[in-house]
Chain A
Amino acid sequence: MNTFAVNYGNLFSITIPETILEVVSLLVLVVDLGFLRKSTQPARMTAACVLGVIGSVLAGLWLLTHSGTASFAGDALVLNSLVAAAQIGILLLTALVLLLSFQAEFSRNPGEYVAIVLLATTGMMLVAAARDLLVIFVALELLSLSLYVLAAFAKSSALSSEAALKYYLFGGMSAALMLFGFSYLYGLTGTTNLNGIAVSLASQGLSPLVVVAMVLVAAGLGFKVAAVPFHLWAPDTYQGAPAPVAALIASGSKVASFAVLVAVTGSLIPAASASRGATWIVLLVWMAGASILLGNLAALAQTSVRRLLAYSAIAHAGYMLLGIAANTPQSGAAVFYYALTYALTTVGAFGVIAVVERNMGSDRFDAFAGLSRRNPLLAASMLIFLLSLAGIPPLVGFWAKFNLFAAVLRAPGVGAWGLGMVIFALAASAVSLYYYLQVLKRVYVVPAMTDEPMAVSALEQLVLLVIALLVALLGIFPSALSGWIPLG
């Protein structure tokens, strides 16, 4: 195993954004528990969220103003334009989630809530930057443990406890499998560095043990992105977790997980035999196919909007896995674009759900009935989000799908199989339109039970409108975002 001179100054300069988040998270605790103990609940929540947003913005600004590449300890952590883009995206999503948390009433400990959100964000950023098995694992655990805690944050809600416990049990087992796979990879290659693993696997070829290691790694990362058959936690967790937390799990966590999946894919496919038949690709394609099929079909049967979004998330993970399996720089960029825009849209959708839940006490279809009359702006936002998720032009979801499938088809050597998979995915996304329209039908067609307006704070309204505008504008000017995403 190679040893690298560890330069801590270098480490610090790479992780300044993470450090900012850590400092702010401690600051939030100090302010909330030290100075604001006697304040009212909303005031504490507002203060904590404002601090959190400021921290995220500061970290994001640092990343925007410091371009260039750097790496630490032989590429254990890297910072390049792609990683920076992913991290900026994650920070943006966190800031949006925090902005939508101002009105949240699920917790009496706003300081802790925001601090853990920031810790989870740190985990996501490290996951996106890690290129070493051990660092990946530690970062993923930081992320996962924070999310387990967050999922259980509504302590008085039985559903929240259940969601957290299921998420935790499932996550713990997947992490164990993945770590086992990592240990195999290390044993087989003698290194934990992704580049080193790629070199070693290319020279030693494939053995049954490598295949087993790949499957175990796929189990761990499949859990993070909620791909079939490692998806079972998703519906319960999306349903039970507090709405902002569910948004975070569905957005930032997904972006980070796909970023690391792209990196791992690069190292598990031997360069020499980058054929379409490489085992890792076969695994990804099978998981993708199963996810697209199961996600879309199961979503049809849901009556809870949160569960519906969970199954649709599984389907979306399937599309993105297809893109990763194509394994070209273009497809990697397309996946990244997809993940980022999908996450943005999902945060918006969960924002709407949070408002509806707060007013109606439920996220079932009938709670959405007549939304257009009770709050037209909210209804319009929801319309944009769901249509974008369904991939209707000219919204950003359409471009994301278009880019992704085009990149898959353009990848060298995909052949009839690739074409078949793309057609299958397109057909499935046509199915998805049906269940998204089921929700929109409640929003626009079904009459409301009451006509009293849906109470929503000005800030929420504003944030949701901004997100909706982004989704629409990025769809109309797709190059605004795609030009900014570097090729992997």
Chain B
Amino acid sequence: MTPPMIAGSASLMATWLAQESNGSFSPAFVDGASSTIAHVLWLIPAIPMVAAGLIALLKQPRRAAAAGLAITGLAASLILSIIAFVHVLGVWGSGAATREAVTFNWFDLGATHMQMGWLLDPLAAVMLVMVTFVGLLIFIYSTGYMAEDENFTRFFCFLSLFAGGMLGVIISNSILLLFMCWEIVGLTSYLLIGFWYHKPSAAAAAKKAFLTTRVGDIFFLLGIVWLFAQTGTTLFYNYGSGAIEPNALAALLQQPAAWGLSAATAIGLLIFAGAAGKSGQLPLHVWLPDAMEGPTPVSALIHAATMVAAGVYLVARVYPLMSAGASAGGSTVSLTTVAWVGALTALFGSLVAVAQNDIKRILAYSTVSQLGYMMVGLAVGGVAIGMFHLITHAFFKALLFLGAGSVIHGCHEEQDIRRMGGLRHEMPRTFYAYLAGMLALSGFPLFSGFWSKDAIIGSAFHWPLSKGPFVLLIIGALLTAFYMMRQVGYVFFGPWRGHGHPHESPSVMTVPLSILAVFAIFLGFLGTPAWPWFASFIQGEPLKFEAAWYAEPNLMPLMGLAIVLVLLGLGAGWLLYVRRNVTRPASAPVHHHAQEHGDEPQHEAGDLVDVLEGAAPTVWSWLANRLYFDELYAATVIRWYAMLAWLSDWLDRRVWGGIVAMVAAAFRGLGWTNKTVDSQLIDGAFDKTCEELVTSGGVLAWLQADRSPLYLRVLTVGALVLAGIALVVATATGQVRL
């Protein structure tokens, strides 16, 4: 379907194989002398982090200062990112691709040098611009959304810290540095999901997110340690001696691990486990929908546009490792795993999204599903195809979340789509923006999601190993169009079924929506089959116009199929949820229910029964309960831990405690015997001891006023003076150069 991209990834593969055979470096990427912008690239994450530190020092009522600092900081990062991007563009225009690594020595331990550094290449440049730009819009939007919150200052502190961590993940050229930033991102995610920690559900969701992603992170850390042990470096690229450059990869491929896997494959799988945790892939997806307990801008920024994409970005970053050892036209064990996990996740997410009633949960499952698409894109089509969907998705999903936030705001914090309706009249600006996002997500022709998703589906069709992922993906695409139409039907069409009177949100919220909408519509044109700008840029190849793109075999039928599926999904949704005019049953009064937790209260008085639910209640309840994944985990892993904890507690109390009590009793008995034998002596000794204690106390008190602190100060000053003398002498005699 997308021949230039297929050709692109094939040529990437060929290039890689060529490197493997002759050991030379990729002709596409030139490790040029580092430019000024590459040297100051660290400022991009550092500025938001410093801003976060400053905001942390502010007092709670200094709202304007906090928001101002956060926005200024991220704006500065955006400007630097654009400069970096333009620089990369310029190098690309001159026929090469940049890969500028700046490396510094973190510490030396004997003969071991721990190096760290950052990297500027097209992949990082694109991500930098996307994260800072979307982030900035969401920061601005947040000033409106969070205006009433008393912890406004803290919120912006966390947001800034998050932005710093995320940007750090992007520019890291060291897998260890990346992991550190990754953990900052995980921490801020925890803090922000639990931002309204007074809600038990939010606190629980934060904990769940932290623990679930931690499962993935353990594997990731194992992978890092293994990679470091094998290659002796944590750097990705280091002018030929990096961990994912051909020399190291060749050695990793030779190194057997277990079960017939090479070390390269095993490490790749471990790293993918980390990525799966962060990016909500099966079976570690359970935290992501619950994370919607956080404020909506957080959901938009972290759990739609950026952080969850970090896993995808990680796989893209270590792609040479993942694809190492691929035979011509084939795939590797790691990539095959990624493809299948991604495809299953894509279908799972879209299935579950059909049966959700919370406006943000629908989007959350949609995110899970779309992340699955990205993973498949990486696995079957290469870095460019997966990343392209990441970028377009970031824009339209941020748009959808912010639109949902605007709706929630307008409906007085109502999140259940059954208690909304007809909002297109009351909130026209939100409606049109949302519509753009929804069409982009559904893959409506010419919208951005159409191009990026079709590239993935096309690559999956051409995948030589199996057609399985392709089938899963097209079913997912159909469902995606359907559930989005369902949501829009509930929210924006039909009569108003909610409480009170809805209102449009202020401009500070709708303007970012409009900007995002423009991108949601037009961004896709950067990666059309005829003009694959994005793929060429990422891969550092010369840009060319594919005049005969339509002649590529299977392209037109596949594109036609995709369009038909989208129209089918949208049409079905339209028929079921717009034409039928979902209305509230006249008999039942409406009650406002605070949604306590995601476990859907399926039939509250006054809520609509979904048409599909009426048709197939069993299937519906499985979907509405997310295929009982949470229940499964609760019955297995969590239960085991609870039992282990109970056992430990029991051992402590009964067994060890009993032993201690026995010993204590024995000694007490001994003491009692002694006492009865010579109580006089002990009494006398006790009195004497008391006297001594009193005396010593007096001594201590006298000491405190004495010169002990002075002694210690003299000791310290003496050491400092000696150090000064030693350094001066050593410098003067030329032994040390300061």
Contact = CB atoms under 8 A, between A and B. Distances in A.
B699 A161 contact: yes
A208 B736 contact: yes
Interface stretch (A133-141, A199-207, A441-449, A463-471): A199-207
B708 A283 contact: no
A42 to B, nearest CB: 18
A73 to B, nearest CB: 18
A214 interface: yes
A77 to B, nearest CB: 22
Contact of A282 (B109, B717, B729): B729
B698 interface: yes
Question: For chain A, what secondary structure do more than half of its interface residues adopt (helix, strand, loop), or is it mixed?
Answer: helix
Nearest to A279: B730
Given A158-B695, A228-B718, A211 B730 contact: yes
B112 to A, nearest CB: 7
A210 B726 CA distance: 10
Contacts of A190: 109-112
Contact of B722 (A173, A277, A283): A283
A282 B735 CA distance: 12
B708 A211 contact: no
B730 A232 contact: no
Contact of B715 (A170, A210, A279): A170
Contact of A215 (B109, B695, B722, B736): B722
B730 A206 contact: yes
B736 A187 contact: no
- Residue among B703, B717, B738 with most chain A CB within 10 A: B703
Interface in B400-414: none
Contacts of A207: 736
B717 to A, nearest CB: 7
B133 to A, nearest CB: 42
Contacts of A428: none
Contacts of A158: 695-696, 698-699, 702
Nearest to A191: B110
B722 A162 contact: no
B698 A211 contact: no
B723 A212 contact: yes
A54 interface: no
Contacts of A282: 725-726, 729-730
A248 to B, nearest CB: 22
A283 B715 contact: no
A158 B698 CA distance: 8
A223 B716 CA distance: 12
Interface in B688-738: 692, 695-696, 698-700, 702-703, 706, 708, 711-712, 714-719, 721-723, 725-727, 729-730, 733, 735-736, 738
A249 interface: no
Nearest to B727: A211
Interface string A276-287: 011100110011
Given A156-B692, A211-B736, A232 B726 contact: no
A169 interface: yes
Interface in A24-65: none
Given A161-B699, A218-B722, A232 B729 contact: no
B104 interface: no
B108 interface: yes
Contact of A169 (B108, B711, B736): B711
Contacts of B727: 208, 211
Given A161-B699, A187-B107, A211-B730, A233 B711 contact: yes
A174 B716 CA distance: 9
A194 to B, nearest CB: 15
A229 interface: yes
Interface in A192-237: 200, 205-208, 210-212, 214-216, 218-219, 223, 228-230, 232-233
A166 B702 CA distance: 12
A211 B715 CA distance: 18
Minimum-distance CB pairs A-B, first 6? A190-B110, A229-B718, A215-B723, A158-B699, A232-B711, A277-B733
18 contacts: A155-B692, A155-B696, A156-B695, A162-B699, A162-B703, A170-B712, A187-B107, A190-B111, A211-B736, A232-B711, A232-B714, A232-B715, A273-B735, A277-B729, A277-B735, A279-B735, A282-B730, A283-B725
Given A166-B703, A200-B110, A279-B735, 11 more contacts: A162-B703, A162-B706, A165-B700, A190-B112, A206-B735, A207-B736, A228-B718, A229-B719, A230-B718, A230-B719, A283-B722
Interface of A: 1, 155-156, 158, 161-162, 165-166, 169-170, 173-174, 177, 187-191, 200, 205-208, 210-212, 214-216, 218-219, 223, 228-230, 232-233, 273, 277-279, 282-283, 286-287
